[in-house]
A and B are shown apart, each in its own frame.
Chain A
Amino acid sequence: MRAINRTLRKRLVIVLFALGAVFMALIGRLAYIQLIQSAWLTEKAEDLWRRNIPVESKRGTITDRNGEVLAYNGSAPTVIAIPAQIKDKPSTAEKLAKVLHVEAKDLLAKISKRTLLVYVTPGGRKIDEQKAKEIRGLKLPGIYITEEGKRYYPFDSLSAHILGFSGIDNQGLTGLEEWYDERLRGKSGSISFFANARHEEMPNQNDSYTPPQNGQNLKLTIDKEISTFVRREIENVVAQYNPDGVMAVVADPKTGEILAMENYPTFNPAQYKEYPQEVYNRNLAIWKTFEPGSTFKIVTLAAALEEKKINLNDYFFDPGYYEVAGRRIRCWKAGGHGSESFLEVVENSCNPGFMLMGQRLGKEKLFDYINKFGFGQKSGIDMPGEGKGIMFKLNRVGPLELATTSFGQGVSVTPIQQVMAMSAVANGGLLMEPHVAKEWSDPETGEVIETVEPKVKNRAISEETAKKVRETLESVVARGTGKNAFREGYRIAGKTGTAQVAAPGGGYKQGHYIVSFIGMAPADDPKLVAYIAVDHPKAGLVFGGVIAAPVVGNILADSLHYLNVPARKNGIPREYQYGDIRPVEVPQLSGLSVEEAQKTIIQISSNLRVEKVGQGKHIVAQAPAAGTKVPPGSTVRVYLSDQPVP
């Protein structure tokens, strides 16, 4: 018996040690969980328990350069429900329906969904404060009020392509709303709490509120007033010529800031869904690529002047064509311009003259300047959807390609590239990077976070050449093809362009032209560069000088007046031809008596109307001032007083 008991005891010791080891293993495993795995397990567990009610951040406002609001967020209370927390669903639906004026059964269906969070719709999104207050007053469990933003664009379609729009969930979809989405959007916050497995809020657990981080405010380089002028001009063009498209850009040549960029067809960002997607997705002014035609001659001219290949006073004979590689390429004017100076070549936009310049430059030099002026590459503007354009590859450029390129055919460019090239001429030779964002500021404090500085990409030509090109272009407006852009006192310089549109199968589309004009003013110190292109205008005489030039003239004159740029007197005088309407110079009336003034008006036999303001015999002031040139039939206002001017 003792022996048997000894076996038992021996075996019990084994059992004791085995069990002891297993228990130690259990404790070890527990410690392992706590020491090693606890961090990620706890994180997973908290993810499992945590429920977040999103609190939308407020999208930053977008203003023009003067603080005029172009896009802002209205926020409105929105009702949301956590179905699991609603104890009595029918009565909750009933009570909500009464406040929101909707069918209770629709709401009941909504709040009976088996999801964490639902919007109480219909009727519960973006409600007014009064209703929100009533719903808060009901103190319904599981019903919460949160804020939701709605984007407003107070000027409807003004600068629509620049602004773009944002979708229902506060996300930028096109334009700057897309390009700067992250900064404008900010970061959503949340109310978070621990819930049980049925999404019901747990008692005695800390709720936490992470406030949303509102999006930054963006100030643009855009000037709302100038944009309005541009818009008005585009609408006139559309009414008059019914074109397929219009694109216009106004820029500050010294900084590369875009002051206006408008397109037709356009859209209203608030109702973007009503427009075809190609309308709102294509910002034609940076997207569309087409043959520029004669406006491109500026590059050839600048290159030829910089390389001293021509002298503006040298003479050239245009027989009406230019022979290249055994082929005759004709000038736009049948019969040619005959003998002309190179200045007149530019004034007349004479193709053979430019082909000669191209030939003298050679393909390497010409294409080098084309590159320096920024063609064939994206301008780098801070907007989505920019086009790049197409250039000949240098090794495939023969004499024919060189000839056509030098007057703007066979190359494809975007409007913004042309504007920046013109800006380089305007600012003394520097190619700038265009931009529309000017300044970022904190939405809470208004403090400026970031100011966008002008960025020089490279020097294209020397200041001296730039000055020469400007003078030449001023004479194009005063005496050449750009006469319709002439505005007395503003010294507008510019170049017309009329280009055929390439057909998809090769060759050109019959009767389809894009007419354009690019101008700057004042020529001695350009403040603005303006560009307009009209795609397929329906008119008898389709020339850039006829359709596009007056538009740029109007835009520049109105904008410069608005910017208080003083009128110049030393400009190249306009050359008048038979049939042109000559402006009338306003006589000196101020300081005269009424009778003397009447005599003066009759003497100059001009067609001016006089409007008297006030009472008396003596004229003390007049508007416009003496010496101003106005169209015949204009009104001069005179201010009367009993006392003569001392």
Chain B
Amino acid sequence: MAKADTLKQEANKTCADLCNLLATENMKSAKHRPDFLLLIVILLLVSIGLLTIYSASIIWAAQFKKLSADYYFIRQFMWTILGLTAMFGVMNVPFWRWRQLLPLQLPFSILLLLVVFAFPGGEDGSYHRWILLGPVSFQPSELATLTVILYMAHIMTKKQDRLDSFKKSVVPPLVITGLFAGLVIAEPDMDAAALIVVTAMAVMFGAGIPIRHFVKLAVPVIGLAALFIFSSEYRRERIFGYLHLDPFSIESIRGEGWQQANSLYAIASGGWTGRGLGRSIQKFLYLPEPHTDFIFSIFAEEWGTIGAIVLIVLFAILIWRSIRIASLLPDRFGSLVAVGITAMIGFAVIANIGMVIGALPVMGIPLPFISYGGSALLIKLLAMGILLNLSRYTAEEQAR
């Protein structure tokens, strides 16, 4: 009896693999032009990012860091060149190669997450978020996010006939995700870890894991998150600051609320049409590190609320195009990768902008393509390369 079951499963598996293989073979012939609109939007976002980083960082670089005014811009520019090269390269790499590469990428990514502990950072050396190689710094948590997306897409494809089984299709991928997230939390970078977990969940959701499993997961995940939040004082403050809904109270403005209050000043004083490029006042050291997490407020100050809405719309188009790709891909793995990438970008955009406009608590999640950060941009452009490649295999006729 048990043997018969095993045989049956074996047969199913072979069949599923075969089916996938067949589909893949089909697609190879159906390769077409990548999503042109998506490409334009990506290029626009990257350009806006570069321009805004230049404008936002010159004062911080020159007056606070005593560096040359274009210090941050030049670095970001190099990373952008590297990132775009990588994107155009990856765009032509058939996406299933990534699945084959996974057995290498998975341990490599974990290795980097371990190596990072050799590089103390932050003011007191208690942070380990970057691997520093001379002038270049690399954030392994970014690569980890992409690795988790690819891994989740792979495992969900592999176990697509056993999705109902909590033990077999939910627990093992969660263990791997938990390993990554745990390492990132240890850096410590709670916010990046949360993004990894949420992105992984999104892939599982897309893969069709029954809702009841998510309900089962909700309790331990939320419990763990609460535990982590309340175990650290500054996270507690952020949450309470948010719940009080008043970033302008004296206690708040001296602490965590300072950035949020100044960010709101920037957005409000920019008006509908903005002060104009380079004319932000808040970047004159009122808003600390204006080119990083809070860059959206400087953008809003210079380009106005209308400019800010245009930027949000650009992100919305990007997300719409990637969801479209996910839904039109006949290949399950590719489809789930697209879902994961969409989630990674989408959640980051919502978390970041929500924080900047005071709708969400302060979090350390940068705005994709816009915030300063070389390795983050490189990984995101790499992901875009994969997405663009995926867009070449969509079954357009089926959509009609």
* A130-188 at interface with B (beta carbon < 8 Å): none
Known interface pairs A4-B332, A15-B323, A205-B281; A37-B354 also in contact (CB < 8 Å): no
Pair A19/B208 contact, Cβ less than 8 Å: no
Indicate whether A34 reaches chain B with its CB closer than 8 angstroms: yes
Residue from B286, B327, B350, B354 within 8 A of A8 (CB atoms): B327
Pair B357/A26 contact, Cβ less than 8 Å: yes
Residues of A with C-beta under 8 A to B309: 27, 30-31
* A570-615 at interface with B (beta carbon < 8 Å): none
Residues of B with C-beta under 8 A to A200: 63
Classify the interface of chain A: helix, strand, loop or mixed: helix
Residues of B with C-beta under 8 A to A29: 354, 357-359
Pair B63/A198 contact, Cβ less than 8 Å: yes
- Measured in the bound complex, the distance between the Cα atoms of B351 and A19 in whole Å is 12
Pair A23/B305 contact, Cβ less than 8 Å: no
Indicate whether B326 reaches chain A with its CB closer than 8 angstroms: yes
* B222-248 at interface with A (beta carbon < 8 Å): 248
Tally A residues with Cβ within 8 Å of B: 41
Q: Which of A33, A46, A49, A205 has its CB near the most chain B CB atoms (within 10 A)?
A: A33
- Measured in the bound complex, the distance between the Cα atoms of B45 and A236 in whole Å is 93
Pair A48/B286 contact, Cβ less than 8 Å: yes
Indicate whether A539 reaches chain B with its CB closer than 8 angstroms: no
Q: Mark contacts of A7-36 with chain B using CB atoms, 8 A cut-off: 1 yes-contact digit, 0 otherwise.
A: 111011101100110110111011101100
Pair B268/A38 contact, Cβ less than 8 Å: yes
- Measured in the bound complex, the distance between the Cα atoms of B321 and A12 in whole Å is 12
Pair A202/B284 contact, Cβ less than 8 Å: yes
Tally B residues with Cβ within 8 Å of A: 49
* B314-361 at interface with A (beta carbon < 8 Å): 315-316, 319-320, 323, 326-327, 330, 332, 335, 339, 342, 346, 350, 353-354, 357-359
- Measured in the bound complex, the distance between the Cα atoms of B286 and A220 in whole Å is 53
Pair A41/B265 contact, Cβ less than 8 Å: yes
Instruction: Give min CB distance, B281 to chain A, whole Å.
Output: 6
Indicate whether B19 reaches chain A with its CB closer than 8 angstroms: yes
Pair A44/B308 contact, Cβ less than 8 Å: no
Indicate whether A197 reaches chain B with its CB closer than 8 angstroms: yes
Residues of B with C-beta under 8 A to A16: 319-320, 323
Residues of B with C-beta under 8 A to A34: 267-268, 271-272, 305
Instruction: Give min CB distance, B110 to chain A, whole Å.
Output: 29
* B134-173 at interface with A (beta carbon < 8 Å): 160
- Measured in the bound complex, the distance between the Cα atoms of B278 and A202 in whole Å is 13
The chain B residue sitting closest to A1, CB to CB, is B19
The chain A residue sitting closest to B284, CB to CB, is A196
Not counting A8-B327, A15-B342, A46-B269, a sample of 7 additional A-B residue pairs whose C-beta atoms are within 8 angstroms of each other reads A11-B208, A15-B206, A23-B316, A26-B359, A31-B309, A194-B281, A197-B286
Q: Can you pick out 28 interface pairs between chain A and chain B where the beta carbons lie within 8 Å of each other?
A: A5-B332, A9-B327, A11-B205, A12-B206, A12-B323, A12-B327, A13-B327, A15-B205, A15-B206, A15-B323, A19-B350, A22-B350, A29-B354, A29-B359, A30-B267, A30-B300, A30-B305, A30-B309, A37-B268, A38-B268, A38-B269, A41-B269, A45-B266, A45-B269, A45-B282, A49-B281, A194-B281, A196-B284
A-contacting residues of B (Cβ < 8 Å)?
A: 19, 23, 59, 63, 160, 202, 205-208, 248, 264-269, 271-272, 279, 281-282, 284-286, 300, 305, 308-309, 312, 315-316, 319-320, 323, 326-327, 330, 332, 335, 339, 342, 346, 350, 353-354, 357-359
